[in-house]
């Protein structure tokens, strides 16, 4: 149902399949009120390529007209939308009005009857700051209802994490909900925290839950509809967001931007070039009839929302999500202080954060020092490299001079370090950093160096055969056929190995990627992004590639690629 295509931090680009419908995450689920449509789901599909929406089954259930049509024709026909339809259960109304006229079993069965794609049981959304006993009692009811719903539900089902602001209860909720085998895990009852700008509390709640939930299950952050906060919570592992903000803000003449919300009547210029802003001025919108103005503002708000998600996905793809987040959190002081809270979870995040990324890291301020990748790289260099010379980096501290152009030591700052060590020493120390202490001399024994057109080290060659290539992008080594054979002989099993089922060995030797479900074992000291050896169950070399998923993730996934194979041995 869910597989990862790219990663950065805990953020990931994922492929989520519900029935025969597919959506790429992270993404937004626009909230649809079927009784008060401002932009129809079909128009969202046409204009924004919206593949998933969320509506409220309790609203449909409570309206005789909507209920009759939904039961007769299904929720997709009711909404005139063929994409993925997720339904809430009435928990929002329960939070607002403290009571709903439906039982958990009734609303779950109703969602079955109207053929929703993903249903939600009637959890108890305990507000922030209640007593521990109150939150615990509510959570026990939620867990009872979760077990009941899983039996009743005939398809995909949300398993919502509750527990108020008591992190021990959030931990228990995530752990117990995770044992019931839901397909998606929303994190609920955080809307009041967002409304009060208590982003720090949401950070703690999200990361407490993430530590207990399966990484193979998408996480939905309920009510996080403002694009200002998307990048931070994607970085922390949230895959789905829902938003009524696009229309609620429009009704209040509020204009969304990635750095906050502006009042329409205070704008002289639109800082956006979406179709709405390109063809209207703020004064023209203010002069329009209310319904027309609300609709156009809602269209703009959705444009900004989807644009920010595209920006976030590109950042994940190129490995610059931390850079983006550090820039975005400066849009609001409370968001900035919430980001500083993330460093408490560094050791958890670094198990999943790729050690190798496509782009050079940027130094944006003091908080950059807390990135898990810098800590991981420094520890590895200290453990593996006996450097000829060292440098002192303002972020990382002391490190081998030979790694000055190697990710992440090559972080962009106002000063660029020069390497003044012999080239052979440089590549040998890079190999030590990548593969282990004293590996470089053995790996590059009897090799010569060839150069690129701009006189930089390019390849290590032995008897006309490439042992390894020094990649210009990140200053790290890619193994050639001879290099993977040598490294396999040098390192004892299971070092730097991904062990696959013998059944797929011929496929891997022919350059096929390694799928998670065929991984039988792995060196648990590896990080995603690293160069690895691929072997069969007898430790016969099949090829090499780069690790997409971390050792902590692979056991949870039954779908998707674990290792992107660079070369087989055929």
pLDDT at 481 over 80: yes
Give residue 243's pLDDT band: very low, low, confident or very high (50, 70, 90). Answer: confident
**Any idea which architecture 2-243 has in CATH?**
Alpha-Beta Barrel (3.20)
pLDDT (tens digit per residue) in 363-388: 888 888 899 999 999 999 999 999 99
User: What pLDDT is attached to residue 93?
Assistant: 77
Residue 361 or residue 27, greater confidence: 27
Provide CATH 3.20.20.105 ranges for the chain: 2-243
Write down the residue that tokens 């020493």 correspond to.
425
pLDDT class of 92 with cuts at 50, 70, 90: confident
Q: Is 240 helix (H, G, I), strand (E, B) or coil?
A: strand
pLDDT digit string (tens) for 180-200?
Answer: 999 999 999 999 999 999 999
pLDDT digits (tens, 9 = 90+) for 291-347: 999 999 999 999 999 999 999 999 999 999 999 999 999 999 999 999 999 999 999
Give the tokens for residue 568: 């087989």
Above 80 in pLDDT, residue 95?
A: no
The pTM of this model reads 0.96
Give yes or no for residue 94 having a pLDDT over 80: no
Radius of gyration in angstroms for the set of CA atoms belonging to the chain, rounded to a whole number: 26
| Low-confidence winner among 186-190, 213-217, 407-411 (lowest mean pLDDT) | 407-411
Per-residue model confidence (pLDDT) at position 419: 83
Residues known to be catalytic: 88
**For residues 488-509, average pLDDT:** 96
CATH 3.10.450.90 positions along the chain are: 422-480
Instruction: List pLDDT tens digits, range 384-393.
Output: 999 999 998 8
What superfamily in CATH does domain 422-480 come from?
ArcTGT, C2 domain (3.10.450.90)
Categorize the per-residue pLDDT at 415 as very low, low, confident or very high, splitting at 50, 70 and 90: low
Whether the per-residue pLDDT at 416 is higher than 80: the answer is no
| Rounded Cα–Cα distance for residues 231 and 496 (Å) | 32
When pLDDT is cut at 50, 70 and 90, the band that residue 97 belongs to is low
The Cα–Cα gap between 263 and 251 comes to 11
Residue 359 confidence (pLDDT): 83
pLDDT of amino acid 365: 85
Q: 150-162 pLDDT, tens per residue?
A: 999 989 999 999 9
| Average pLDDT score over residue span 116-129 | 96
Sheet of 519-522, strand order = 514-515, 561-568, 541-547, 531-535, 497-500, 519-522
Q: What are the backbone dihedrals phi and psi of residue 257, each rounded to the nearest 5 degrees, phi first? A: -135, 170
The pLDDT, as a whole number, for residue 394 is 80
- When pLDDT is averaged across residues 400-409 and rounded to a whole number, the result is 94
Tell me the pLDDT band of 13, cut-offs 50, 70 and 90: very high
Upper half-sphere CA count for residue 22 (Cβ side, 13 Å): 6
Which pLDDT belongs to residue 361?
85
**Looking at residue 411, what is its pLDDT?**
84
Q: In the prediction, which pLDDT does 307 show?
A: 97
Predicted confidence at residue 364, as pLDDT, reads 85
In the chain, residues under CATH classification 2.30.130.10 are 492-568
Is 2.30.130.10 the CATH number for 492-568? yes
Q: What is the DSSP string of 536-554?
A: -TT--EEEEEEESS-TTTG
């Amino acid at each position: 149902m869910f597989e990862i295509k790219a990663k950065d931090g805990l953020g990931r680009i994922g492929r989520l399949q519900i029935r025969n419908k597919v959506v790429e995450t992270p993404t937004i689920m626009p909230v649809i009120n079927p009784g008060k449509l401002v932009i129809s789901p079909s128009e969202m599909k046409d204009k924004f390529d919206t593949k998933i929406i969320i509506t409220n089954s309790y609203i449909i259930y409570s309206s005789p007209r909507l209920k009759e049509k939904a039961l007769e024709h299904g929720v997709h026909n009711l909404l005139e939308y063929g994409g993925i339809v997720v339904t809430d259960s009435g928990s929002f109304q329960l939070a607002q009005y403290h009571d709903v006229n439906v039982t958990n079993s009734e609303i779950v069965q109703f969602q079955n009857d109207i053929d929703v794609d993903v249903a939600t049981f009637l959890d108890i959304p305990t507000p922030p700051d209640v007593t521990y006993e109150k939150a615990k009692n509510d959570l026990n009811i939620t867990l009872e209802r979760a077990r009941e719903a899983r039996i009743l539900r005939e398809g995909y089902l949300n398993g919502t994490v509750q527990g108020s602001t008591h992190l021990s209860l959030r931990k228990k909720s995530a752990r117990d909900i995770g044992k019931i085998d839901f397909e998606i895990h929303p994190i609920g009852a955080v809307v009041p925290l967002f409304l009060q700008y208590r982003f720090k509390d949401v950070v703690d709640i999200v990361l407490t839950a993430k530590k207990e939930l399966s990484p193979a299950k998408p996480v939905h952050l309920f009510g996080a509809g403002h694009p200002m906060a998307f990048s931070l919570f994607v970085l922390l592992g949230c895959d789905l967001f829902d938003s009524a903000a696009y229309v609620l803000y429009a009704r209040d003449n509020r204009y969304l931007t990635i750095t906050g919300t502006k009042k329409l009547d205070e704008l002289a210029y639109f800082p956006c070039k979406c179709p709405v802003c390109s063809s209207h001025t703020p004064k023209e919108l203010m002069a329009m009839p209310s319904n027309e103005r609300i609709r156009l503002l809602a269209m703009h708000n959705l444009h900004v929302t989807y644009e920010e998600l595209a920006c976030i996905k590109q950042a994940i793809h190129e490995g610059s999500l931390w850079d983006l987040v550090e820039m975005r959190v400066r849009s609001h002081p409370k968001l900035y202080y919430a980001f500083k809270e993330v460093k408490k979870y560094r050791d958890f995040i670094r198990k999943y954060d790729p050690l190798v990324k496509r782009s050079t890291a940027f130094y944006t301020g003091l908080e950059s020092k807390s990135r898990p990748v810098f800590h991981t790289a420094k520890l590895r260099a200290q453990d593996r490299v006996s450097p000829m010379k060292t440098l002192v980096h303002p972020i990382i501290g002391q490190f081998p001079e030979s790694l000055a152009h190697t990710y992440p030591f090559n972080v962009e700052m106002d000063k660029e370090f020069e390497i003044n060590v012999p080239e052979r020493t440089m590549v040998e120390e890079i190999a030590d950093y990548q593969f282990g202490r004293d590996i470089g001399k053995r790996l590059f024994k009897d090799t010569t160096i060839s150069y690129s057109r701009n006189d930089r080290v390019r390849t290590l060659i032995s008897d006309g055969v490439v042992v390894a290539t020094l990649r210009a992008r990140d200053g790290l080594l890619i193994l050639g056929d001879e290099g993977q054979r040598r490294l396999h002989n040098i390192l004892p099993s299971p070092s730097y190995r991904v062990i696959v089922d013998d059944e797929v060995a011929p496929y891997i030797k022919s350059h096929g990627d390694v799928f998670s479900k065929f991984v039988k074992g792995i060196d648990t000291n590896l990080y995603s992004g690293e160069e690895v050896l691929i072997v069969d169950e007898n430790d016969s070399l099949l090829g090499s590639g780069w690790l997409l998923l971390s050792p902590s993730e692979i056991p949870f996934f039954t779908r998707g690629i674990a290792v992107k194979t660079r070369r087989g041995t055929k």
